[in-house]
Amino acid sequence: MSNEILTTQPAEKKKIVFSAIQPSGTITLGNYLGALRNWVTMQEEGQYNCIYALADLHTITVRQEPAVMRKNILEAYASILACGIDTEKSVFFIQSHVNAHAQLAWLLNCYTQFGELSRMTQFKDKSAKHADNINAGLFTYPCLMAADILLYQADLVPVGADQKQHLELSRDIAERFNGRYGNVFTVPEGFIPKNGARVMSLQDPTRKMSKSDENVNACVSLLDTPEVIMKKFKRAVTDSEAKVCVGEGKEGVNNLIGIYSAVTGKTAEEITNEFEGKGYGDFKVAVGEAVVEELRPVRERYEQYIKDKAYLEESWRKGAEFADRLAQRTLAKTMKKIGFVGR
């Protein structure tokens, strides 16, 4: 990637977009349609300087098996490249390779109130889910997320509904710090990408599709074979009306229409007309086939990348070096403002 992102000339500077995803398991169709495809779109539009991260530090709030964690990181990195992230156009790195994330997170901990963290909905939800491991990292997780964003002076952060609260806290921390020490951090804005799709579980369409779902039929993985994808869609929950249309009480069908719309570009009205007089069986097959074709090139590229460890290492090393230069600049300024003595 060019050095444009490091420029100090405002007239030339594009807005900086930062986004990250955890490598805590297989990347899902929901991750792809909701986030990763938009990462590629923003990269290709050329309107933004895009900085993307694999947020591996965030994963250890839940206990990980070391060998499985390493495998997940490797596969997630290759998968994201396979989705179309180009390291010549975007900064893409592994979070733990840039030490400034953990260092700034500690500093921000000291500018965040206990009450603010205790009100985080996700902390309450995850504490209930992992009652045997309510660790301090789970509690201060939003400060690390704030560090991720503020280190790169991000103007824009793509967010889903489940992360809006964390972004608001990041803004509050930035404004609090700036109010005391001057203009140190860019206060980030959240935005919803034009083509973002919220993909729900195929077995419980009232919940978001999740890689941690215990029901294997609930979640489609980027790396599922065409046969497995078709089987999952054929088993998808619908309703008894047997009419393909958007409506109240039709969460399962609404979800399938949303997925079909996202991969074909057709509107809900066009989809309703296409399947007029047809049953859910025909519709589920059509959705499955459309998803198979959408993911086919991703799987093919993934197979190439995952076999080339040297290329992966070169890519993440280059990404980390670039990210580190940006991050160190912010970290040094932050520490100087607080009053630390330089090395």
Contact 213, 219 (CB under 8 A): yes
Bridge-based pairing state of the strands 91-94 and 48-54:
parallel
- Chain-centre distance for alpha carbon 314: 23
Domain check: are 121 and 34 in the same one?
yes
Q: Which residue has the tokens 């890519």?
A: 315
Inter-axis angle of helices 121-129 and 164-181, nearest 10: 130
**CATH code of residue 67:** 3.40.50.620
> Does pTM surpass 0.75?
yes
Among the listed residues 15, 211, 266, 333, the single catalytic one is 211
Q: Is the pLDDT of residue 11 over 50?
A: no
Domain check: are 99 and 140 in the same one?
yes
Cα–Cα distance measured from residue 95 to residue 89, given in angstroms and rounded to the nearest whole number: 18
Domain check: are 10 and 67 in the same one?
yes
Give phi and psi for 61, each to the nearest 5: -65, -20
pLDDT at 61: 87
pLDDT in tens, 243-283: 999 998 899 999 999 999 999 999 999 999 999 989 899 99
Q: Is residue 343 part of a domain?
A: no
Domain check: are 49 and 160 in the same one?
yes
Domain range for 8 is: 3-192+309-338
Q: Is residue 246 part of a domain?
A: yes
**CATH code of residue 263:** 1.10.240.10
Domain check: are 272 and 320 in the same one?
no
Run of H or E residues at 49: strand 48-54
Q: Is residue 167 part of a domain?
A: yes
208 belongs to the catalytic site: yes
Q: What confidence tier does 6 reach under pLDDT thresholds 50, 70, 90?
A: low
Q: Is the pLDDT of residue 325 over 90?
A: yes
Among the listed residues 126, 232, 243, 284, the single catalytic one is 126
Domain check: are 293 and 327 in the same one?
no
Domain check: are 98 and 241 in the same one?
no
Q: With 0-12 CB in 10 A as exposed, 13-18 as middle and 19+ as buried, what is 309?
A: exposed
Q: Is the pLDDT of residue 10 over 70?
A: no
Domain check: are 8 and 22 in the same one?
yes
Contact 95, 54 (CB under 8 A): yes
Domain check: are 41 and 173 in the same one?
yes
Contact 235, 242 (CB under 8 A): no
Q: Structural domain tally of the chain? A: 2
Domain check: are 245 and 124 in the same one?
no
Domain check: are 251 and 129 in the same one?
no
